[in-house]
Amino acid sequence: MAVSSLRELWRYRGFIRASVQREVQLKYKDSVLGLWWLIGSPLVMILIYTLVFSRIMHSRLPDMDMAYAYSVYLCAGLLQWNLFAEIVGRTQSFVVENANLIKKASFPVISLPVIASLGSLVNFGIIYGLFALFMLSQGLFSLPLLLVYPLVLVVLVAMAFAAGIILAVFNVFFRDIGQLVPLTLQLLFWATPIVYPASILPESAKAWLSWLPLYNLMTLSHQLHLGIAWSLQLLLYPLGLSAGLTVLAMTVYRRLYGDMLDEI
């Protein structure tokens, strides 16, 4: 099934590319500031968290004297988290939101979550581009970051997409899933060291939290962006998890596709 789905997606690559382009253009077409809204929302969030944690709560990174260390830590975590959450959120609702279109579809249905995920990646690319310029200005954009961080993003996107597909299928039969996903994402956000350093956690908590899907990816991302010692072994668990979720997503989607169409 995976090979046939990839072939279908390749056949409709022009449709997918045009749909992503149209989605980005229409989203900001009638707004005065256009794409600046895309930049403004995460920028405001980062500024608020920086003010609260760095200025008010006087959060500091251990053994880091760099002036913008905490801001870099915060940006690296939040931008990555926003990409994950957006892909999961948009993918898990694609069946319910496009029920009428799916019934009449003359194109591979799986292209809908692919389009949504690519749109999220475009948004991330624009924002991360600005962050990369800041990193360059501070002399922090290193060769390991350039070579290894794309692997982190590939694993993260694969994990988010697979999880979203599984949730999308079951959301057809159990509509409460659509309400539980935002709550679960909030719990994962605060359980994962994104706005606070993992060093403040007790060792027992670290042992448990390290099993969370994004814990290792966030840790490796922070290491790469801050230019400190990093370990590629941190990718092993997320890689295995994303592979397992992908197999599960393909199995669930294939076996329940017919029932899903009947239900919607």
Q: What pLDDT shows up at residue 111?
A: 86
Q: What pLDDT shows up at residue 33?
A: 59
Q: What pLDDT, in 10s, does the model give residues 199-220?
A: 888 888 888 888 998 999 999 9
Q: Yes or no: say if 145 and 229 are a contact pair by the CB < 8 Å rule.
A: no
Which residue, among 195, 168, 179, 191, has the nearest Cα to 97 in the 3D structure? 168
Q: Is 45 exposed, middle or buried (0-12, 13-18, 19+ CB in 10 A)?
A: middle
**Per the structure block, which two tokens stand in for 109?**
């249905």
**Per the structure block, which two tokens stand in for 59?**
């959060």
Q: What pLDDT shows up at residue 83?
A: 94
Mean pLDDT (the chain) is 83
DSSP per-residue letters across 134-160: HHHHTT---HHHHHHHHHHHHHHHHHH
Residue 179 in this model has a pLDDT that exceeds 80: yes
Say how many C-beta atoms besides its own lie within 10 A of residue 241's C-beta.
Answer: 21
Q: What pLDDT shows up at residue 35?
A: 61
Q: Report how far residue 155's alpha carbon sits from residue 261's, in angstroms, rounded to the nearest whole number.
A: 30
Q: Predicted confidence band at 82 (pLDDT cuts at 50, 70, 90)?
A: very high
Q: Report how far residue 12's alpha carbon sits from residue 19's, in angstroms, rounded to the nearest whole number.
A: 11
Q: Report how far residue 227's alpha carbon sits from residue 209's, in angstroms, rounded to the nearest whole number.
A: 24
Q: Predicted confidence band at 228 (pLDDT cuts at 50, 70, 90)?
A: confident
